[in-house]
Amino acid sequence: AQSVTQPDIHITVSEGASLELRCNYSYGATPYLFWYVQSPGQGLQLLLKYFSGDTLVQGIKGFEAEFKRSQSSFNLRKPSVHWSDAAEYFCAPKIGGSQGNLIFGKGTKLSVKP
Amino acid sequence: NAGVTQTPKFRILKIGQSMTLQCTQDMNHNYMYWYRQDPGMGLKLIYYSVGAGITDKGEVPNGYNVSRSTTEDFPLRLELAAPSQTSVYFCASSYQAEAFFGQGTRLTVV
């Protein structure tokens, strides 16, 4: 069955430190891959996406993600975290092609220490 | 530039009541979706639609109904509200692969 795993439920980092949020998916083919961010009480905002080509993709707010086919992973990174990055982050593969359905991970809540 | 608009933002229902969550998009997207979000569970797909007049069940459709009479609107109906339907509901529309989300409706059933 298709699934997506975000193994870290809650991560705390210091402001200015680097960040990596992990995401693994289980699917027969390479899906379209997305990362969304959700601030408290808000909807979901797209951070970045991977469809094909260069496996390192850049997104908004200084985030990037790297697709690794051999590991079925799509980890999100940021070199230097800002206090405003505190939010919940969701990895979401899209199964079934460009108009398939998003499958969401359970999310990783990021807290930022001053 | 409204995007995806959901109403209401908050609602409290009594057990057994019914209500409709409204969703409209102004981007002329064919694909639309309803998700529910429960704490620690990510988003689960309730129903989706690939175009006007066509709807299909997602992962957790029980207790819900949808209709899609126009491209713009995709209302979600709860007929007999139950406490298990307490959740935050998100509507989304999609163009090619990218989905755009509304701000959500927080529903409490008491």
Which residues of chain B have a CB within 8 Å of the CB of A34?
98-99
Note if the bond before B8 is cis, omega within 30 degrees.
yes
Query: Is B105:B13 a contact under the CB 8 Å cutoff?
Result: no
Instruction: For residue A73, give how far its alpha carbon lies from the nearest alpha carbon of chain B (Å).
Output: 18
Over residues B52-68, the pLDDT tens digits come to: 999 999 999 999 999 99
The CATH class of B4-109 is mainly beta
Give the residue from A5, A104, A108 with the most B CB atoms within 10 Å of its CB, the best one to mutate: A104
Q: For B51, which residue in chain A has the nearest alpha carbon? A: A99
Percentage of residues in chain A with pLDDT exceeding 70?
98
- Contact check, Cβ <8 Å, B97/A49: yes
Over residues A82-112, the pLDDT tens digits come to: 999 999 999 999 887 777 788 899 999 999 9
Which residues of chain A have a CB within 8 Å of the CB of B98?
34, 46, 49
- Contact check, Cβ <8 Å, A43/B103: yes
- For residue B84, give the DSSP letter: G
Mean predicted lDDT score pLDDT of chain A: 92
Domains delineated in chain A = 3-113 (2.60.40.10)
Please tell me the distance from the alpha carbon of residue A75 to that of residue A96, in angstroms, as a whole number.
21
Residues of chain B with pLDDT under 50: none
How far, in Å, are A5, A16, A33, A101, B17 from residue A48 at the CA level? 18, 21, 8, 17, 40
Task: Single out the residue of A33, A63, A38, A61 nearest to residue A49, CA to CA.
Answer: A33
DSSP string over A59-93: -GGG-EEEEEGGGTEEEEEESS--GGG-EEEEEEE
3-state helix, strand, coil in chain A (%, to 5): 10, 50, 40
